[in-house]
Amino acid sequence: MMNRRDLLKLTLAGAYCSVSAARHGQLLPAVRGGTSLPATYLVDYSPNHLSDAGFVSRMAEAPPSLLHLGHDCPFTAHWGPRAIPLPVPDMSKYRLLTPQETSERFRAIKTMVRGLHGAGVEIIFPYINSQQMGGDIEKRLGFWEFYDHWDEYRSFGLPPRPQADPAEWLQRDPSGRILFNNPAAYPGYAPQFFYAPCPNNEYWRTWLRFVVGSIAQAGFDGVFVDDNIIHCYCRYCREGFKRYLRSRYTPGELRSGFGTREVDKIEMCSQADKTAWAKAQPAFIEYLGSRYAPGELEKRFKIADLTTPANLDRIGYSFLERPAREFITSLQEKYSPEERRQFGAADLSQLGIERPEDRLRWFETQRFWAWSIGDLLVDLRRAVTPYRKGFVFVPNWGSMQTVDGVEGRRLHGKNVAEWARGADYMMFEEDYRNGFPGRSAAGGFTTHDLQYKFALANGVRPVVLFGGPHGRASVELAHAEAAAGGGGCFVENFDKFSDVRRLYRRFYERQPDLFTGFQSLAQVALAFFFNQAHMENREHLRQVYSLHSTLASVHVLFDFLTEETLHLLPRYRVFILPSVAYLSRAQERTIQEWMDGGGRLIVPGDHPTFYEDAKPRPIPAFGFLLSNLPTLGSPQFKWIGREGLPGLRANAYWKQEGRQSLVTVHLLNYDLDATHEPEPMLDIPISVALPVPVQHATLGKLTAFAPDSSDPSELRGEIRDGRLCFELPELRVYRIVQALLT
C-alpha cells in the first residue's frame, strides 16, 4: 500500500514543453527481455487539483512523461462519488456528491486533463484500489450509503444495482467469515472501517469496470491500481480455482499431480495457510493476548478482547501473519517431532503440505490468487476499450527489495509473471526512509537493479518508488537506474530537483536510439524462478538475492531467466541454478540440451530433488555438478579492467540494424550519498565481451553521451579478442557509451 502520509507532505511541480501525440507510441509495454524508452514519472496526491488554478501551469515547467494523481476521478472505487483527498484525514467530513455535483466534477476533471496534456504531460492517470472498500456495514455509511442510493446515478451509465449487498462482495477466510487484510479500524478510514472486497466477486468486478470506464471517459490515459491483495476462499474464488486448473492442466496431468482427473474434486488448499491455522488454535489466542497491554486492543484495533472469532478477524490477516509465524516457531521449539503430530505435522513448517498433492494444491492456490489479479486487469482493459485505445494499467506489486518483502507478498496474489498479461507498467514500492540509490549506512550500496532486471525478464516496464534523504546527485542516479535498467521509470514524489526530471526527459526523447530495441550482452544468466517461493522454497530466494549482489559487486554482467524465459538460455554461456528444488522434466531437458551444446551450468546449494508437481525425483537433477562460482570472477566474465571501484555498475546491450550493429554500455557511479557531490571516477578501463555475430566486426565509431551534456564526445577504442575495449576518461553519475560496429 502506498505510504500516503509521506506523499501528502510533498507538492509537485511540472513541465517544460508540449509533446506530440506520436510520442505516445514510444511508451508501449516492454517486449520480454528487450529494452524500451525510459520515461519520467511523477506522483502528485495533492488534494485540491481541480480548484488549484496554478496546477497546470506549474506542471508545464517540467512535465513528466507519466503523471500519477490521487482520487481525481468521477467515482472513487472504494467510496463511490465523493471528492476525497488521498490520504483521507477524516472520512466523516466527505459526503456523497449529488448527481448534479458529480456531473460538474466530471466536467472539471475533463478540463484539467486537457490542460495537463497541453502542458506536455503525456500519460495521466488517477488512483483506484482493487481491494479496498470503506464504510460501516451496520450504520450503512461509506460505500454502503452509496449502494443505498445507487439508482440515483444510473444516468452516468452505472449498471443495475446488484441484489447482493456489498457485505457479500467481501473476501472470506476458510471458514466463510469476512476476511480483513488490514485492521478493520484502519486510521485512514476512521471513524468508518476498512473492508477487502474480492477481485473475483462478480459484483465488485462490475463496479470496477464502471469506475475504470468512467476514468477513460473523463479523458485519462490510464489508471493506477493499488494494493491488489487477495487471500480469499469465497465461493467465487472456489469456482474460479477450478476454471483456473482447467486452463493449466490436461485431465492426465490432473490425475498425475492431484490424484484425480475430475477438477471438481480438487479444492483450494487452506490447510497450509499457517495464519488461518493459528487463528483456530486456542493457544494462539492466549499467545496473542499476552503481547498487548490492558487497553491496547481497544486503542489499536477498536476491539475489547480476543474472546470471539469476529474480534480476532478485525485485527487483520496481514497484521496477524508475523505473530502466527512466531507462535508456530515457538511450538516447533517446545515440542519433539512426535509431539508436534498433535498439531498436524512432525515439522510444523510443513503444515498441510507433507504430501506432494497437497503441496501442489497450495502452490496452485497461491498462483491462482496471482492469476486472479492478472485476470482482473485484463477484464478492466476490455471494459475501457470502447472508450480509449492504448489505455495504460499500472498495478502496484509492493516491495521486492528484500527476501522478506517477497515472502510476505507471494501469499497475497503477488506474482509478476501472472500480472504481466494485464499490466503495461508495474510499480515496486520500496523503502521510504533510506531508499535512494548510493552508498548505504552499512557500507554497501543501495540499488534497484533487481527490480528492473526482473521486470524486464517478465516483459513489463518497472516503475520504482522510494524515499529518504537525497541530494541532486542521488536523484540523477535514480533516473539513471531506470534508463540503464532497460526502460522503466524512477517515481518522483517531490518537487525538488524538477530540473533533473526535465533534463532526463529531454535526453530520452532526443536520443531514443540509445534505449529502444536492444537485448542484453550478458554472458551469464541467473535463474529467478518465482514459483519456487509458492512451493515454500525460501532458500532459492535467499540465494538469488545474495548472488545478485555478489555478481554486481564483482562486475559481471548477468540477466535473470524465469520459468517463462528459460527458452532464451542459448543466448548465454553460463547458467546459475541456485537451490531450484522443483524442476520439470521439460526444464531439465532444455538445460541438458544447452549443456550438450557447450553451456556451463553452476548449481549453488541443493540440486533439484523434486519434479514440478512436488513428486520426489529418484536422483537429484544434475547431481554430478559442483558449484564453481569463483570462475565468474575471472577476466573472461568481468567487464572492467581494474579493481578498486566497488561503486561502479554497468549494463550493456546490443542490437543489429541491417549490416551494422550498435552496442551500448550504461555506466553508473553508486559511490555517492545524499549530502555530497560524487567524486568522479577517472580513467576507467572497460572490456565487454561481444556476441558471436560481431566478435570480428570493425569498430566504426565510439561515442559517449551524458544527460547533462548536449554534445556527445568521441572516444578511442578497439575490438580485441572478441571484446569491445575502451577507456572512459571520467564518470560523475551516469554515462552511456555507444559503439557502431560494421
Pick from 85-89, 213-217, 346-350, 537-541: least confident:
85-89
pLDDT at 22 over 60: no
pLDDT above 70: percentage of residues in the chain: 95
Using DSSP's 3-state secondary structure scheme, residue 236 falls into helix
pLDDT at 33: 67
Dist CA 322 CA 318 (whole Å): 8
Strand partners, 525: 559, 575
Dist CA 159 CA 168 (whole Å): 18
CATH topology of domain 524-627: Rossmann fold (3.40.50)
pLDDT at 10 over 60: no
89 confidence band (pLDDT: 50, 70, 90):
confident
386 confidence band (pLDDT: 50, 70, 90):
very high
The CA distances from residue 652 to 241, 445, 510, 520, 666, in Å, are 42, 20, 20, 6, 6
Dist CA 368 CA 475 (whole Å): 38
Strand order in the sheet with 461-465: 123-125, 66-69, 41-44, 489-492, 461-465, 425-429, 392-398, 222-226, 127-129
Taking each helix axis from N to C end, the angle separating 202-217 and 356-384, rounded to the nearest 10 degrees, works out to 30
Nearest to 495 by CA among 71, 44, 60, 85: 44
Task: Say how many residues make up the chain.
Answer: 742
The CA distances from residue 320 to 412, 523, 655, in Å, are 14, 44, 50
Average pLDDT, the chain: 92
pLDDT at 24 over 70: no
Dist CA 572 CA 484 (whole Å): 20
Domain with CATH 2.60.40.1180 in the chain: 648-741
Burial of 184 (0-12, 13-18, 19+ CB in 10 A): buried
- Contact between 637 and 600 under an 8 Å Cβ cutoff? The reply is no
**Vertex 347: Cα angle to 341 and 348 (nearest 5):** 85
Q: What is the pTM of this model?
A: 0.94
Continuous H helices in 282-411 = 282-289, 296-301, 309-315, 317-334, 337-340, 356-384, 403-409
**Vertex 648: Cα angle to 742 and 41 (nearest 5):** 85
Using DSSP's 3-state secondary structure scheme, residue 556 falls into strand
pLDDT at 69: 97
pLDDT at 121 over 60: yes
- Does residue 360 or residue 21 have the better pLDDT? 360
Average pLDDT of 478-491? 96
- Cβ within 8 Å of residue 354, ≥6 positions away: 345
- Contact between 490 and 482 under an 8 Å Cβ cutoff? The reply is yes
Query: What is the DSSP pairing of strand 558-561 with strand 524-527?
Result: parallel
Dist CA 429 CA 118 (whole Å): 30
Dist CA 108 CA 218 (whole Å): 9
Pick from 187-191, 202-206, 227-231: least confident:
187-191
The yes/no answer on whether domain 648-741 falls in CATH 2.60.40.1180 is: yes
- Contact between 741 and 698 under an 8 Å Cβ cutoff? The reply is yes
Domain with CATH 3.20.20 in the chain: 4-26+37-233+367-429
Average pLDDT of 283-305? 92
Average pLDDT of 542-556? 96
Domain with CATH 3.40.50.880 in the chain: 524-627
Dist CA 356 CA 344 (whole Å): 16
Dist CA 351 CA 355 (whole Å): 10
Dist CA 20 CA 44 (whole Å): 23
Cell 497491554, located at residue: 293
pLDDT at 692: 86
Pick from 86-95, 177-186, 386-395, 406-415: least confident:
86-95
Using DSSP's 3-state secondary structure scheme, residue 329 falls into helix
Residues 38-52 have pLDDT tens digits of: 999 999 998 889 999
pLDDT at 602: 95
pLDDT at 565 over 60: yes
The yes/no answer on whether domain 4-26+37-233+367-429 falls in CATH 1.10.3470 is: no
Dist CA 126 CA 146 (whole Å): 21
Residue 265 DSSP one-character state? G
